[in-house]
Amino acid sequence: MNGSMNKYIEEAESVLLHTYNRFPVVFDHGKGVRLYDTDGKEYLDFCAGIAVFALGYGNEEYNNALKAQIDKLIHCSNLFYSVPAVNAAKELTKAAGMDRVFFTNSGAEAIEGAIKAARKYAYTRDGNTDHEIIAMNNSFHGRTMGALSVTGNKKYREPFYPMIGNIEYADFNDLDSVLNKVTGKTCAIIMETIQGEGGIYPAEPEFLKGIRKLCDEKDILLILDEIQCGMGRSGSMFAYEAYGISPDIVTVAKAVGCGVPVGAFMMTQKVADMSLVPGDHGTTYGGNPLVTAAVCEVLRQFREKDILLNVRETGEYLYGKLDEVAARYDFITAHRGRGLIQGLVFDNDKMPAGEVCKRAVSNGLIIITAGSNVIRFIPPLVITKEDVDEMIGILVRSIEND
């Protein structure tokens, strides 16, 4: 690292709140599936800004769509309508099989809105204010107070107690565990369709279908968090499509805007009719013309460039290559995931996953952990098989510390 990058890092550490243990790299620009630091070094990116940059860096059509909207109108507030917001709402709800959408600035805000909508739905139904939500152990939904409250990992919650109340935690992929938590006060069940930060755990079909059946029988709302696993990452536009079920409320963010700060929570008309009304919820920036223009362009490229086909084909190739790596080392104990959201589980006592990620960055590959012992692979959705081969080569060198 030369002096200029060191200087940027020192300046950052003197003014930024230290809430991240960052890699010692200062990125300057990107092109396709590659990033370049301020020294000009190239990195193959298998992180995509944590599952954000689905279309890759320097996407000319995406950039031009945002530039055109900047020249027209960036913001006008939700007291008025805008054409990009209307078009984005139509396209996104159609893609998700939902009826109504509220645009937010982030995934955590989408979770907050989903929680409020679920509680308001139950309040409208019976007038009570003591409803309960069942969340999953090992889950991650965000770092705002409501999102933390439904995050099933005590280490994230404990320093910030008390959380919002009436949250119960059940075990993911254990239907009996969920059934044991259900009471007459249960108004919603929230989960990731594929747990991301918790270690790349897809929902088992019998589990998710059983939850859907339970919710239908008891008028409980099913909230699916597709912030990381949605928008094509699993091989279908939304991961729940592969299970043949649909949620009552779904949250999205990350790749829905491919870099601009935008998220959303969507719901069925039934939920909309019984939940949020004027005065119940709002946002200053959410869904402004700039970010919704980005959503429109992202969805257009997904349609016209057949992004999902590439995810399925390249994801299958990646799965085979990662299986080969897992079979090569006894300290890799499992391989999970689907599409372009996959993880290798490491025995940290023999080979720490975090150390492999550090070596990889030094070797020009961006990979990150999920939890403490899983390396996750969440690249841009436009990667090729050649990119996979290159990544595997760098990964093996990083494991063997060559």
Q: Are residues 291 and 324 in the same domain?
A: no
> Would 67 be classed as within a structural domain?
no
Residue 24 CB coordination number (10 Å): 12
> Would 65 be classed as within a structural domain?
no
CATH (domain of 392): 3.90.1150.10
Q: Are residues 316 and 279 in the same domain?
A: no
Q: Residue 1 above 70 pLDDT? A: no
% residues pLDDT > 70 (the chain): 99
pLDDT of residue 223: 99
> Considering its fold, how many domains does the chain have in total?
2
Q: Are residues 114 and 241 in the same domain?
A: yes
Q: Are residues 121 and 238 in the same domain?
A: yes
What's the whole-number mean pLDDT along residues 74-93? 97
Q: Residue 2 above 70 pLDDT? A: no
pLDDT tens-digit series, residues 223-233: 999 999 999 99
> Would 214 be classed as within a structural domain?
yes
Q: Are residues 178 and 127 in the same domain?
A: yes
pTM over 0.95, yes/no? yes
Q: Residue 314 above 60 pLDDT? A: yes
pLDDT tens-digit series, residues 248-299: 999 999 999 999 999 999 999 999 999 999 999 999 999 999 999 999 999 9
> What residues make up the domain containing 380?
3-59+306-400
Burial code (b: 16+ CB inside 10 Å, e: under 16) for 185-216 equals: ebbbbbbbbbbbbbbbbbbeeebbeebbebbe
In the structure encoding, which two tokens stand for residue 41, read together?
A: 């070094």
Q: Are residues 348 and 264 in the same domain?
A: no
Residue 385 CB coordination number (10 Å): 13
In the structure encoding, which two tokens stand for residue 141, read together?
A: 């939904």
Q: Are residues 320 and 253 in the same domain?
A: no
pLDDT of residue 3: 65
> Would 87 be classed as within a structural domain?
yes
Q: Are residues 285 and 377 in the same domain?
A: no
Q: Are residues 22 and 135 in the same domain?
A: no
In the structure encoding, which two tokens stand for residue 232, read together?
A: 């094509």
Q: Residue 247, preceding bond cis, omega within 30 degrees?
A: no
Contacts of residue 105, Cβ cutoff 8 Å, sequence gap at least 6: 261, 262, 263, 283, 285, 286
Q: Which of these, 168, 175, 191, lies nearest to 249 by C-alpha position?
A: 191
Residue 64 CB coordination number (10 Å): 11
pLDDT of residue 46: 98
> Would 96 be classed as within a structural domain?
yes
pLDDT tens-digit series, residues 152-188: 999 999 999 999 999 999 999 999 999 999 999 999 9
What's the whole-number mean pLDDT along residues 337-342? 98
CATH (domain of 200): 3.40.640.10
Which domain-ending residue is among 287, 304, 321?
304
pLDDT of residue 4: 85
Q: Residue 300 above 60 pLDDT? A: yes
> Would 115 be classed as within a structural domain?
yes
Q: Are residues 176 and 204 in the same domain?
A: yes
């992202």: which residue's tokens? 298
pLDDT of residue 185: 98
Q: Are residues 351 and 386 in the same domain?
A: yes
CA 152, 186, 109, 379 torsion: positive or negative?
positive
Q: Which of these, 396, 304, 398, lies nearest to 357 by C-alpha position?
A: 398
Q: Are residues 212 and 177 in the same domain?
A: yes
Which domain-ending residue is among 255, 279, 304?
304
Q: Residue 388 above 80 pLDDT? A: yes
Which domain-ending residue is among 304, 325, 349?
304
Strand, helix or coil for residue 5: helix
Would residue 362 be called left, alpha or beta, if left means φ above 0 and alpha means ψ between -120 and 50 degrees?
Answer: alpha
Measured between alpha carbons, how far is 156 from 167 in angstroms, rounded to an integer?
Answer: 15
In the structure encoding, which two tokens stand for residue 27, read together?
A: 């990125």
> Would 64 be classed as within a structural domain?
no
% residues pLDDT > 90 (the chain): 99
pLDDT, mean over the chain: 97
Pairing verdict, β 34-37 and 27-31 = antiparallel
